[in-house]
Each structure stands twice: as C-alpha cells, then as structure tokens.
Amino acid sequence: MSVPTTVSAVRTAAPPGPDGAAGPAPRTGAAAASGRSEASGPALARHIVVIGGGIAGLAAAHRLTGAGLRVTLLESTGRVGGKLRSGEIAGTPVDLGAEALRVPRPEAVDLARAVGLGDRLRVPAATDAALWTRGALRPIPSCRGRDVLGRARTADTYEVSLRAAVPQLFEAARQDGALLTGVRAVRRRTAEQQRRVAEERQAAERRRIAEERRIAEQRRLADRPGTAGQPGLSGRGRSGPLIPRPRSGFTRPGTGADAVCAGPESAGGFPGGTRSAHTIPDLSRGGPDYLGLDGGAGTLAGAVADAVRAAGGEILRNTPALALTRGPYGWEVRTAARSLLCDGLVLATPAWTAATLLAAEAPLAAAELSEVAYASMALVTMAFRRSHLEGLTAFDGRCGFLVPPGDGHTIKASTFLTRKWDWLSERAKDLFLLRTSIGRYGQEEVLYLDDADLVSAALRDLGEATGLTARPVATDVTRWIGGLPHYAVGHPARVTRVRNGLSALPGLRLCGAAYDGVGVADCVASGQRAADEIIAAEAA
C-alpha cells in the first residue's frame, strides 16, 4: 500500500459541527500534501485497525501483533469477547455465552495454548445427552456412526447435520429441482472444506507430537543425576499436564457406540497410574470433540486481549467506529473523539454493522451484508442445592438435553453444567448449576418477556422434562439479541460476492460469525485468516 510510514496514526478530531459530529482535524502545508505528520520523529510501523472486539477481532489482532504490525482494536461496548462472556452465579464463575471449544477445528484450542491457557484446558466429564420429545428424555440416535452432538461419525457429516438442523430445506428440495442442485453444490463445497480442516488437524497433530517429544526429552534430562541446575530445568515441578495424556473413558473415533467420555463416577483411572482430575486428552488416540477452560471459556477473550496489549497493541473500549473513508494514503476511521489513519482494516463486526460502515465505499457489498439475518436467544442460568436433585435420575450421567422444534416447549436445550465440567463441580460442591436456552430464529417474541417470566418458563419445562420441582437459589438471564447469524440457502455465494466486491479496496478484510461459521473455533479461524491476508498484502 502507498501510505507513508510517517503518517500520523491518530488525529484529534476538530470541534463538533452543528450536528454534533466530530470532524477530521485539518492538515495544512507540506503535511497535507504528503500525508506526513507535522511532528518529526522515527518512522512508524505499519498500522492496522481492527473494528470489533469479539473473539474473531481479538484473534486477528493477536496474529497481527505477532507479525510485528502496530494494531489498534476498537470495541463499541465496555468489554471484549463478544459471545464469550464470563459471569458469576451464587459466587461461582460461569460462562454466560459460549462455553466450549471445538477440537476437530483446532484454532481456538491452539489460541488458548498460545496465550498461556494450555494448562487450564479441560475435558468434559460427561458428553451423553438426550432428546426431549414425545414426553420423555430419549437417547439421541446415532447417525452413521456419530450422533448430532458431533461424536464419532465416519461419513457424510454435512448431510446428517443439515437434515437435523433444517429438514424443511430437504422437503423443499424434493419439490424444487433447482434448490436440490444448490444443496448438492453446498455438499460438495462442504466436503472440500472438511478435507482442508482434516489436513490442518493432521498438521497440528504432527506439531503436538513433536512438542510432546521435546518435553519428554526435557523430563528425561531432568531425571539424570547432576542436571538439577541446568538452565530451563531447575525448579520445574513435575506435576501438571505438561504432556497430554488420554483420559479414561475415551476410545478412538469410529470404534463403536461407546466412543464417548465416561462420567466422573465411572472413570477408572489411567492405565498403570492414578487418574488425574484435570488432564488434557491425547486427541490422536481418541477423545472429546470439544474442550472447556477451568474458569470458563469466556476467560479466553481476556487472555488474548492481554497478549495483544503485551505485544504493543492498543485496545479501545466504548469506542465505536462511525465511518470509514478510503483515501490516497490508506484508510481513515472516524470515532466520536478522533480519527485514525491506518494502512489496513479488519472488520470483525456483525454483518449489519459492516454494512453500515461500508455503505459509502462499497454499496453493493453493503447491500449484500444487510441481508444476512440474525437470530436472538436468551440463556437462563440457575443454581440449585444439590440435595434438592437427589433421586432425579434424569440428571445422572448426562450433560443435558436438546428439544426439537414443534414440540410446543419454550426452551430449546438445557446444559447440566455441573455434570459437564469437573471444575464447576469442585468449586461449588453444594450447588448444581445448569442453564437453558430460549429463542429460535423467527420465534424471538418470547424473549420480550421479563426475566422472572423467562425463569418461570424455563423451570416449567425443566420440571416436565426431568421431574425437578425445586426453586433455584440464584438465577441469571442473559439476552443475546441478534446474537447468531442465520445462514439462509445461498449464504456461501453471498459471502463470495461480498468478498469479490471488496477486492477493489486494498487493505480491507472481513471476519467473524457472519461468514464461514458461528462457532468459537470458526470465528478464531476467520480472524486469523483475515490477519494472514493483511500480513501477506503488507509484505508484498
């Protein structure tokens, strides 16, 4: 790009005009002609602005600072993390947003390790779930070797998940040949994406094995007489999960219906030793498809933000971007208090925000982005006395249950947090924590009930499903209005059109849940991909 390395990265805005909006600070003389700061000084590093402080934006900022670029991240709210959100109920830390990191797509787990959270990764204590349908909690049926929660399936992943998620699409496809053609095309693209993910996972596995061997060699040297004072080995404790080991109850994927994690009551320990309560599984030998973090997955956002700051990045909260302008020397980002000049931009915002910001510079792409629909939901988190659940077998050995649409219930899922995560069970020994999810796409009117009514609705459904009659000792209602993008038929083609339309604007990349997947790992991968493309463009 053509921005001089001495361009001022931050400019104080002029006094607000009649409409209250801050104007850009004027430049005069040689500075205006050249784009250089009037103040002399050493050349500045290339400056990238990341708009949006969710996990996608944080992942992008982390990657960019790691490449030596100067980064300013703008977050419109008072906290970073997006749908990763830590909270507390009855004095116990708990996730009020996403609470698990998918393993088959390793970017989120790798990021957690990169920012120092590797020793806090935790396997789920229970992964079995039920389906609440026809008046009872029923085992989730296996679909070609893997159930709908994503455990040990061997073939045609996309077909099964699509049938489970949107069966009406297939019904329409049987009536519409063109739609059926589209579905088949999506299948082909998804198969190619799965192939690439598998290759990336294999590469990550090779790196992990190499790291295991390195650590094992360090341990071997530490055990030799006379090595206690060697640099890097002295004082290093022998406890802690330095080398991942398989947890009891896991088998290699594809070996049968029992390829799930046994609950804490049935775990029999490691072969030849005592079972550790907190051990990262050896995923090459089978294991869960997701991991959690001791203290909650929401802590990942704070750790990444700290790493960005430690690398020299700046994070500005309560600072929404108001407008973008592409100029001869790069981009100008307007905020309420000042304008920032930068060489590159990463938009890690919801699609509607990106559409607003791009309306002037890329109206066709903005129009496409404005069509991306979003679903809203609420999480009702509750704490009960464990003694009040005695005798209720519905909670035994399960991490929760799903509720299919059309059954007339308010909740769409419930997660038994205390059963699912050992670290929660240990921190609140006399409490049982669970949460329910409410709100489906196109049926969000229930979310306008007040908190007490949402709690009552959740308790009513829980009582019918599990027999629970106790009242919670604490509750929390977290609303995610416009929380998740809803991918309509043709979404991949829309994303392609948007990206193609933005290709004429150098130094601009999009990332986040609106494009290539809504999971935490998908968002991390999206942010890292955007950063890598910016880095490659800056190096060219």
Band (pLDDT 50/70/90 cuts) for residue 260 is very low
193 class by beta-carbon count within 10 Å (0-12 exposed, 13-18 middle, 19+ buried): middle
% residues pLDDT > 70 (the chain): 69
Task: Give the Cα separation of 104 and 518 in Å (integer).
Answer: 15
Indicate the pLDDT class of residue 38, thresholds 50, 70 and 90.
Answer: very low
- Confidence (pLDDT) at 387: 93
Return the closest-CA partner of residue 397 out of 265, 272, 492.
Answer: 265
Which of residues 280 and 68 earns the better pLDDT score? 68
Q: Which amino acid is at 92?
A: T
Instruction: Look at 176 and 457; give whichever has higher pLDDT.
Output: 457
Neighbours of 516 (CB within 10 A): 18
Mean pLDDT of 162-174: 45
**String of DSSP letters for 20-82:** SPPBPPP--HHHHHH---SS--SPPPPEEEEE--BHHHHHHHHHHHHTT-EEEEE-SSSSSBT
Check residue 286 and give its pLDDT. Answer: 54
Number of residues written out for the chain? 540
Nearest to 467 by CA among 384, 408, 407, 404: 384
Q: Evaluate whether 99 touches 516 at the Cβ level (below 8 Å).
A: no
pLDDT at 329: 82
Residue 194 identity: Q
Mean pLDDT of the chain: 77
pLDDT band at 219 (very low <50, low <70, confident <90, very high): low
The full DSSP string for 112-157 is: HHHTT-GGGEE--S---EEEEETTEEEEPPPBTTB-TT--S--S-H
Q: What's the half-sphere exposure (Cβ side, CA atoms, 13 Å) at 146?
A: 20
- Residue 534 pLDDT: 93
Give the pLDDT mean for 239-259.
Answer: 33
Higher pLDDT, 226 or 276: 226
Token code pair at residue 397: 């050995």
Task: Compute the Cα dihedral for 55, 60, 64, 66 and give only its sign.
Answer: positive
Helix (H) or strand (E) holding 372, with range, is none
Question: For 173-190, what is the mean pLDDT?
Answer: 62
Q: Which helix (H) or strand (E) holds 182?
A: helix 177-223
Question: Distance between CA atoms of 170 and 182, rounded to whole angstroms?
Answer: 11
- In contact, 89 and 381? CB cutoff 8 Å: yes
pLDDT in tens, 459-482: 999 999 999 999 999 999 999 988
**pLDDT score recorded for residue 227:** 44
Alpha-carbon span 309 to 347, nearest angstrom: 19
Average pLDDT over residues 41-70: 87
Which among 442, 422, 446 is positioned nearest to 433, based on CA atoms? 422
pLDDT score recorded for residue 223: 59
Q: What is the residue type of 462?
A: L
Placement of tokens 């004027």 in the chain? 26
Which residue type sits at 305? A
pLDDT band at 262 (very low <50, low <70, confident <90, very high): very low
Which residue's structure tokens are 């404005």?
370
pLDDT at site 327: 86
Tell me the angle at which helices 107-114 and 55-66 cross, rounded to the nearest 10 degrees: 60
pTM value is 0.69
Residue 496: pLDDT band by 50, 70, 90 thresholds? very high
Give the closest residue to 101 by CA, choosing from 287, 260, 252, 245. 287
- pLDDT tens for each residue of 408-449: 899 999 999 999 999 999 998 899 999 999 998 888 888 889
Band the pLDDT of 405: cuts 50, 70, 90. confident
Q: Output the pLDDT for position 5.
A: 33
pLDDT band at 11 (very low <50, low <70, confident <90, very high): very low
Residue 328 has pLDDT above 50, yes or no: yes
Give me the pLDDT at residue 199, please.
81
Q: Identify whether the C-beta of residue 378 lies closer than 8 Å to the C-beta of residue 479.
A: yes
Q: How confident is the model at residue 140 (pLDDT cuts 50, 70, 90)?
A: confident
Angle ∠(16,20,26) on CA atoms, nearest 5: 25
pLDDT band at 310; cut points 50, 70, 90: very high
**pLDDT per residue as tens digits for the range 347-371:** 999 999 999 999 999 999 999 999 9
- Taking a C-beta distance cutoff of 8 angstroms, is the pair 242, 215 a contact? yes
Better-predicted residue by pLDDT, 136 or 7: 136
Tell me what the mean pLDDT of segment 260-285 comes to: 38
Site of tokens 């007489």: 225
The pLDDT score that the predictor gives to residue 127 is: 83
Better pLDDT: 372 or 3: 372
Q: What is the pLDDT confidence band of residue 275, given thresholds at 50, 70 and 90? A: very low
Rounded to an integer, what distance in angstroms lies between the CA atom of residue 89 and that of residue 176?
Answer: 49
Instruction: Find the helix or strand (DSSP H, E) in which 92 lies.
Output: strand 92-95
- First-to-last CA distance in the chain? 9
Q: What is the mean pLDDT of residues 505-526?
A: 94
Name the token pair of 298. Answer: 């929401």
pLDDT of 84-111, one tens digit each?
999 999 999 999 999 999 988 899 999 9
Specify the pLDDT at position 243. 31
| pLDDT for residue 253 is more than 60 | no
